[in-house]
Structure 1
């Protein structure tokens, strides 16, 4: 993924420039659209059932399909931005929105409709707090976070391999795979925030895409945890 490239000189500080605010605002808008899509798609049984089919056949199938959609959507969107073709960029963003939206809808549909808004709201609060904590940590330290990008890739790869084994041999490993992929998105979020902080000559649009993907990845994992918690209280 191209957003995992180019180490930059590290700076420190908490003040946000107008450019940083645009990136954060853009990523927030994209994430907001995704949350609305998750709720809307959860009301469409055919879309909500996609998760059950993919992960029901074998969890690794769902991971591969959604992983390919996210990577493909990012590559297409970045290609459009770099080439100045907003049509291609829009197609890439559409793929990303559909991938995260359908996956989130599949998770959300496991809860009664009356609880779905509450679950999305709680998830949004938790993700906002986690993002604020990671951002505060990154901005407070005058060091590079390039290694977080590498660690994120290792975590993603490890998670996929563990889920592959868990799908056919040791189901208990599926939880380990979930944790590794969740950790991968958290690390990527820290990396993307560092890029926004220090790589000020990069395209704000590309950085917006990077932050959005990281936040969306964290969101769908927290959503699964919040869902379990809320349902356990009923």
Structure 2
């Protein structure tokens, strides 16, 4: 990796750490109840959560392209809030003394996935251009199964798997894009942050469930 790629990783790491801290704060406030409220009907929660991510990503990248710091900051802020509220709602299922363990384990697993994705991109030298499109297909399939799963809950496991795989595929795509255009430091950093946090909140659900059952 060259210096620009390392800068992108540094930026994404800063955004990730800020977002994880925000989750822990939200988890001990009334805002943590928003996730349960929205996902009372799964498809409603998925649509609103997805809209927050899509809108935040669009605003952030549009602001970067236009060199509009206000727009870029607003988009990044929306992403932070969306992930923060969702992750905080998940984390709130545990007592506060288990937050560090849950977040630490989730970070280890998610980072292992990210390292694997990086090795895949940098060691194979192949093109992952189409993987951005594949991730969109997976998210659309997840919305479809989430809609049906809102009435037949057994399908929600499939929805979870589709979303998790979708974010992993998207993470590979964003890492590949960073390799292809290393000079776009901020754009790359935000892209990797979005993808990493998507994997993070899905893994967090597994970790929290495991700890809650012990």
Answer whether TM exceeds 0.5 for this pair: yes
> Which residue does the alignment assign to 1:130?
113
Helix, strand or coil: the match of 2:34? helix
Q: Quote how far apart the aligned CAs of 1:53 are.
A: 0.6
Q: Which residue of 221, 224, 228 maps to 2:202?
A: 221
> Counterparts of 1:25 and 1:218 in 2: how far apart (Å)?
18
> Counterparts of 2:57 and 2:150 in 1: how far apart (Å)?
27
> Counterparts of 2:111 and 2:160 in 1: how far apart (Å)?
20
| Structure 1: segments with no counterpart, 5+ residues | 1-15
> Which residue does the alignment assign to 1:88?
71
Displaced runs of 4 or more, over 4 A: none
Q: Which residue of 88, 94, 103 maps to 1:120?
A: 103
What TM-score, normalized to structure 1? 0.89
> Counterparts of 2:190 and 2:177 in 1: how far apart (Å)?
12
**Structure (1 or 2) with the larger CA radius of gyration:** 1
Q: Quote how far apart the aligned CAs of 1:222 are.
A: 0.4
For the aligned residue pairs, the C-alpha RMSD in angstroms reads 0.9
> Which residue does the alignment assign to 2:85?
102
Per-residue Cα deviation, 1:172-216 (whole angstroms, up to 9, x for no partner): 111101110111100000000011112235x22111111110001
> Counterparts of 2:158 and 2:135 in 1: how far apart (Å)?
15
> Counterparts of 2:128 and 2:181 in 1: how far apart (Å)?
12
> Which residue does the alignment assign to 2:37?
53
Q: Quote how far apart the aligned CAs of 1:70 are.
A: 0.5
What TM-score, normalized to structure 2? 0.98
Helix, strand or coil: the match of 1:43? coil
Give the paired residue count: 214
> Which residue does the alignment assign to 2:189?
208
